[in-house]
Structure formats: C-alpha cells, structure tokens
Amino acid sequence: MNNETPWPNIKKLEALGTDKTDTKVSVPMKEIYSFADMAYLDSQAAKPIFETQANIIIARKSTGIIDVGCRHGPVVQILYDKGYTDFEYMGFDTSPEPIEIGKNLHSNKPNIEYRCCSWNDRQKIKVNFDVDMVIWSGVLLYNPDKHFEFFDSITREFYKSTNAIIQEPMSDQRIWDERLYLKTITDDLDQYKRSYAQFNEKVLDLDLFAGKRLIADIVL
C-alpha cells in the first residue's frame, strides 16, 4: 500500500488541520468534492461493491430505489447491464459535479433521477413513488454516534422502505498512514440485527480500500 491508495486518498494531512506529527485525524465528510476525487470507485477493482448491491436489488425485486450519497449512481448501469430496468430510482448527493455526470449518463432514462441536496432537507429528498430499497454506501459512518437512529428515521419512517443495503468499511482496515483514524460503525450493528426481520452480511476484501467492506442486505 502507498499514500495513493484511496479511502480516503489523503496526500497531505495538513489539509485536515494537523501537522506532520503523531496526531491522528479522522476523515471528515466532504460535502463538495470533484468527480475525480473518487475516480477509484469507477475502477474494476471497486465494481464488486456495486455488483453486490445490484444483485441484492434484483433478488429483492425492488422497484423503488433511493441511493443516499449516490455520486453518479454506478449501480444504475450495472442493473441495466444485467437486464434489470423496471424500477424507479432517485439518487442524491451533496456535490453537484457527480450529480450532473449522473444526469448526463442517464438522460434518456425517465425512471432515473439525480438530485443535489442534503439528507437533512426532507422536502428535497421526497419522491412520488413507493420506496422498497434504500442504499447507504459508506455514509452512515459520518453520523457515528446515532447512525442507527438516523438510518431508521429515513429508511423506515420517512421512506417506509421494506429493504435496505448498507455498505461500510470494516473496523480492521489495513491503514497505510498511522496518523489516519478511520471511522467505522461495523462493530456497532447489534441494534440493526435485533430490530429488523433479516440482516444478511457479505464481506468483500478489496485491496483498493486497504481492507474489508461490509455489505448488509437488510429486510425491515
């Protein structure tokens, strides 16, 4: 591993407000980022994450999909490549560039929508279709103290979804810079397992991310 390995791709910890000492820093949520900042997610090495998500969607026969922190929504193209096209999709993200790229990629698909907005603005994330799948890809860790409450309030209460996918880094990462502290929630998932009908776990070990990623298939 080297400092170019993503998740996150940090070249200078000074940018996060620390100097070159033994000080550990955590990774903040960057609401505005360029598409290139996460270009590694478009590599073949990252595809198993989105393909696993697509396989869960197909297995659950989901027809109303919300993608939280979607970037340009790579799962959409994988679903289409697999011949699964009969669904409504709304992905939202706080950064405008990836959202515009998603819109351009799927401008000929009336069932696909992208929005640039925050999960804190419930009016802007409303949809006019029934939701039966909410995807959370590596975003719940930005609310580490109340991730379950936040997940439940949006997935079950707001969207009334019957299914969800959570993708998060596992806690035993192969960190390449000891000054980097990686937030994780995967050691704190008991409440999900107690509260919902099913909690099926799949773990992918991806060198691209310097460690394992949990993909949870949840039936509410």
Predicted confidence at residue 114, as pLDDT, reads 97
| Helix 47-60, helix 74-81: angle, nearest 10 | 60
Beta strands in 7-132 (DSSP E): 25-26, 64-68, 88-93, 112-116
Lowest-confidence region among 21-30, 41-50, 129-138, 151-160: 21-30
Residue scoring higher pLDDT (136 or 180): 136
Instruction: Say whether pLDDT at 35 is over 70.
Output: no
For the domain with range 32-114+123-219, which CATH number is right: 1.10.357.10, 1.10.3720.10, 3.10.129.10, 3.40.50.150? Answer: 3.40.50.150
The predicted model scores a pTM of 0.86
In tens, the pLDDT along 160-211 reads 999 999 999 887 766 555 666 667 899 999 999 999 999 999 999 887 777 7
Backbone angles phi, psi at 192, to 5 degrees: -65, -45
Beta strands in the chain (DSSP E): 25-26, 64-68, 88-93, 112-116, 133-137, 163-169, 180-181, 198-206, 211-219
Token duo for residue 161 = 């979804």
Q: Where are the domains of the chain?
A: 32-114+123-219
Structure tokens at 81: 């490549």
Q: Which residue has the higher pLDDT, 218 or 181?
A: 218
Task: Name every residue whose Cβ is closer than 8 Å to that of residue 142 and which is 6 or more positions away in sequence.
Answer: 29, 183
Rounded-to-integer distance, Cα 218 and Cα 31, Å: 27
